[in-house]
Amino acid sequence: MDQKLMSILACPVCKGPLKHDRTAAELLCFGDGLAFPVRDDIPVMLEEEARKLSDEEKEKH
């Protein structure tokens, strides 16, 4: 994903920063504990499309 795009994206729920997990193709918000999918290099920034991060994933941050 383009770094310029990453610099302007924020979590749609809390407006906090996102971390790009290239391996999982997700944008992670540790503030809300959500992972937003990236499909075909397009971030899907809908809360209903996000999955909840596990406690283990949250601890890694």
pLDDT of the residue at 54: 94
Q: Which stretches does DSSP call E strand in the chain?
A: 19-21, 26-29, 34-39, 42-43, 51-52
Return the sign of the alpha-carbon dihedral for residues 6, 47, 52, 39.
negative
CATH number, domain 3-60:
2.20.25.10
pLDDT along the chain (61 residues), means of 10: 84 95 95 96 95 90 75
The structural domains of the chain, with segments of one domain joined by +, span 3-60
